[in-house]
Chains A and B, each alone.
Chain A
Amino acid sequence: MAHRAAIVGAGHTRFGVLDDGPRALIRSTVELAFASVDRGAERKDVSEAFLATLGFGGSQIGNSAAVLAEEAGVVGIPVTRVENACASGGFAIRSAVGALAARASPLVLVVGVEKMTDVSNARRRYWLGVSGDTEWERLAGLTFAGVYGLIASRYFTEHGDASEALAEVAVKNHENGALNPNAHFQRKITRADVRSAPLVADPLGLFDCCPVSDGAVALLLSPPEIARRFTDTPVYVDGLGAGTDPLAVQERAKLTSFRATQRAAHEAFRSAGWHRSDVSFLEVHDCFTIAELLALEDLGFAGPGEAAALTLSGETRRGGRLPVNPDGGLKSKGHPIGATGVSQAYEIFLQLRGEAGSRQVSHAGHALAQNVGGAGATAAVTLFSVG
């Protein structure tokens, strides 16, 4: 089980409603990433870059790779934009690892960014549904909350009412987010808060949904053989997996599992030679609380319908046997679309190096990130280790 790549530096802006525009966000997160490299790194060491962004709002929908080159101070090198909706970040990391393997690059830069709060209300609500099926789902009256509402409805039908477990997902992730200085929401909530929140798409209420956030995250990746030129504690990428499923859920045989996640997990574990029991903690794509239950099952950490009981047992809390989303998840940390998959890797970088402060998970040696696009049409699973 050889290491595939190494993260040697990482930067993360605050997530939330920010004054900065996308250019300033890219600039500051790249500066933070370079500053984090223990033995230092130069812009000239970067030979290629990948930008993960949906282009929310459409203000620079085309050719935004050039914006990254300008703001990161690497004009001239090849930059590729990766757009797989909410899974853009996970797929950008996959592309970066592939680029490292294909070309002898000392450093590859990955930046995920989204600016979501500076557009008009109507435009924001349009862009929130832009990655689902337009004709058959959106124009039947569904946004993503609606699609996940249908999924939750089916989950309850097949496995029984799981609303307590959904509330627990929100409570747990807010508890973790309260300890994350970069999180959009840094406050605890109760199950009663979740239950009494306004309805968004039955059975999902406002506290079952992640917020609309601004933010940017940057990673510096190097080939594993030269990682110690940059740091004594690189975090390695050991397994990569990705998958797809039909865009519209009406074309899928099953609503209560994402085949894209299942396929991605299978590929990632096989390529790393890991077992599920090797994993210390998970970063999963909890855009809606129901998505965390599906993730636990699709990744193979709970049987069908068993994620609710696992969640209610407390085992997925920070002190539990399998901590899930110690950074607060999308739910509490926020979900700047293109930045999210990169932010999961950032949290893993901190946790595996023991630098996560008050939210540090104990005995963290191996971690998994699962990043989902839309309602499961695309998914990337990445496995990381340290030492």
Chain B
Amino acid sequence: MSNVRSLVRAAAYLPAASSDGVRVAAFDEDAFTLGATAAERAWVDRDRPADPLVVHLIGEFPLVADWGFPVLLGRGTAEMVRHPGDAFELARAAREVEEAGEGPALVVAADLPERAPGGAGSTPSPFGAGAVALLFDTSAKPGPSRFEPTAQDRSAVALALRVGKKGHDRLRKEAWRGDWDLAPAAGRRIDMEQTLRGANRDLSAVSEGAYVPRARYFENLPSRWLFTADECGECHEATFPSRDVCRRCGRRDTLAPTSLPRDDVQVVAVTTIGRGGQPTEFDAQVQAAGPYQVALVEVANGIRITLQVTDAEAGEVRVGQRVNTLLRRLYPMEGEWRYGRKAVPRSLGDARSHPS
């Protein structure tokens, strides 16, 4: 079978938060942010094949995934394919992708506890939340499937990789029979769902909130998600956020988009927002997840970006510290979540990345 793809890269991403050993998604995470983070780790520039990429989604991704992955992964993304079933179908779907076609394919699976199969929305999975991204291509040496578990956690996707469909069918059966202790994580998930519904209701009321029209949100996505700046060929100034004109010399015809670093960047100023000191758009978040920090981060010489800090205790991040950035939910507006990058302590970001 000469057209069998090989696994050339795999990455997993697991949420930082845990409840009694089970990983749970933070307030600002969903299937899209989990999958996006895993996909970013698997689809790095140095591996980027010349041929267009097909992205396969397995799991209950929100609608944003359909246009979000192409934005995040670049213009090489030719097609999005949603596979039926939940994250437990990863093993089967990945095998199908591996055996069909020749071009590069990225298989992304994400699982959230409240999205566990067989259960109501309020019942958590014993496996926890997590995502994996598998990059298949024929440009690597053809050979037998190199499926290997990449995560050390009890996430559904990790288990799917480790035990295959038959194995996790058995696990799932046991789990939902009640042999697993499901109670501890349940309370937190239910609370967050309720809070979230409240947030959506409150903040779709336009008159009480700061407003970013959808068109402006889309216009700024390359800067917001990819840290794209305009570099001027004339004076070499980088303008961020991108605005189609050089902020130093005012020229428009000399600009080329350039990607600024998204990881290992330095905090130049940081503040912890006290409870009640947050803008109203973040009330639901503070209620669910507590106070947060906001940092001014220098990503390149003279280019600074204001980023909320996530997956850290308030006060944990300090001036001079280096941080990584991840795609997260920013704020709800007009009934939808808006997404963008947030800063995380570097040790955390590294520990949860497992590129093979």
Contact = CB atoms under 8 A, between A and B. Distances in A.
Interface of A: 58, 120, 122-123, 125-126, 129-130, 134-143, 145-146, 149-154, 157, 198-205, 248-251, 253, 255
A166 B347 CA distance: 34
Contact of A199 (B217, B220, B270, B272): B272
Contacts of B274: 198-202, 205
A202 B306 contact: no
7 residue pairs, one from A and one from B, having the closest CB atoms: A149-B271, A199-B274, A202-B272, A154-B269, A150-B269, A153-B269, A250-B304
B269 A141 contact: no
Given A134-B211, A249-B306, A153 B271 contact: yes
B273 A140 contact: no
B138 interface: no
A130 B330 CA distance: 18
A356 B83 CA distance: 77
Contacts of B294: 140-142, 146, 150
Interface stretch (B55-63, B124-132, B166-174, B276-284): B276-284
27 contacts: A122-B280, A126-B208, A126-B210, A126-B279, A129-B210, A134-B212, A135-B216, A139-B279, A139-B281, A140-B306, A140-B307, A143-B277, A146-B273, A149-B271, A149-B272, A150-B271, A151-B269, A154-B296, A157-B268, A199-B274, A199-B277, A200-B273, A200-B274, A201-B271, A201-B274, A248-B306, A253-B302
A253 B247 CA distance: 13
B306 A137 contact: yes
A142 B306 contact: yes
Nearest to B302: A253
A140 B342 CA distance: 9
B279 A138 contact: yes
Interface of B: 207-212, 216-217, 220, 241, 247, 268-274, 276-282, 292, 294, 296, 302, 304-308, 315, 319-320, 330-331, 338
B308 A138 contact: no
B208 A141 contact: no
Contacts, number: 120
A153 B281 contact: no
B280 A202 contact: no
Contact of A202 (B209, B210, B315): B315
A122 B335 CA distance: 18
Of listed B216, B241, B271, B319, residue having the most chain A CB within 10 A: B271
Contacts of B216: 135
Contacts of B272: 149, 199, 201-202
Given A129-B210, A249-B296, A253-B302, A143 B279 contact: yes
A146 B308 CA distance: 11
B210 A201 contact: no
Contacts of B279: 125-126, 129, 138-139, 141-143
B220 A135 contact: yes
A125 B280 contact: yes
A137 B315 CA distance: 19
Given A122-B280, A140-B307, A153-B270, 12 more contacts: A134-B210, A138-B279, A139-B338, A141-B292, A142-B273, A146-B271, A150-B269, A153-B319, A154-B296, A201-B272, A249-B306, A251-B304
A255 B278 contact: no
B212 A139 contact: yes
B268 A154 contact: yes
Contact of B308 (A141, A149, A250): A141
A145 B330 CA distance: 20
Contacts of B247: 251
Nearest to B338: A139
A146 B286 CA distance: 15
Contact of B278 (A141, A157, A202): A141
Contact of A255 (B210, B269, B302, B308): B269
B165 to A, nearest CB: 42
A250 B277 contact: no
Given A140-B308, A141-B292, A154 B281 contact: no
Contacts of B306: 136-137, 140, 142, 150, 248-250
Contacts of A141: 273, 278-279, 282, 292, 294, 308
Contacts of A255: 268-269, 296
Contacts of A137: 306
B140 to A, nearest CB: 40
A201 B296 contact: no
A198 B277 CA distance: 10
Nearest to B283: A122
A146 B220 contact: no
B211 A201 contact: no
A141 B315 CA distance: 15
A291 to B, nearest CB: 15
Nearest to B341: A140
Contacts of B208: 120, 122-123, 126
Nearest to B309: A141
Contacts of A151: 269
A129 B282 CA distance: 13
A234 B200 CA distance: 57
B270 A150 contact: yes
B252 to A, nearest CB: 19
B281 A250 contact: no
Nearest to B267: A153
Nearest to A201: B271
Contacts of A122: 208, 280
A153 B267 CA distance: 11
A142 B330 CA distance: 12
